[in-house]
Amino acid sequence: MRDETLLELINVSKSYESPGGEPLSVLREISWRLGPGRAAAVTGPSGAGKSTLLNIIAALDRPSSGSVLLDGRDLAKLGDKALAEIRSRDIGLIFQLHHLLPQCTVLENVLVPTLAAGDADGQARRRAIRLLERVGLAGRLEHFPGQLSGGECQRVAAVRALINNPRLLLADEPTGSLDRHAAENLTDLLTELNREEGAALIVATHSPALAERIGSVLELRDGGLVPREGRP
Domain that holds residue 21: 7-227
E strands of the chain, at which residues?
7-16, 24-34, 39-43, 65-70, 73-74, 91-95, 168-172, 200-204, 216-221, 224-227
d(CA 68, CA 85): 16
CA-based nearest residue to 163, from 193, 204, 139:
193
Give the CATH number for residue 120. Answer: 3.40.50.300
How far is Cα 174 from Cα 209, in angstroms, rounded to an integer? 13
- State the Cα–Cα distance between residues 170 and 200, nearest whole angstrom: 8
Say if 98 falls within a structural domain. Answer: yes
- 153 domain-assigned: yes
Give the pLDDT score at 155. Answer: 87
Identify the segments of the chain with pLDDT beneath 50.
1-2, 231-232
As for how many domains the chain has, the answer is 1
Q: What percent of the chain has pLDDT over 70?
A: 96
Q: How far apart are CA 64 and CA 61, in angstroms?
A: 10
What digits encode the pLDDT tens for the residues 35-74?
A: 999 999 999 888 889 999 999 999 999 999 999 999 999 9
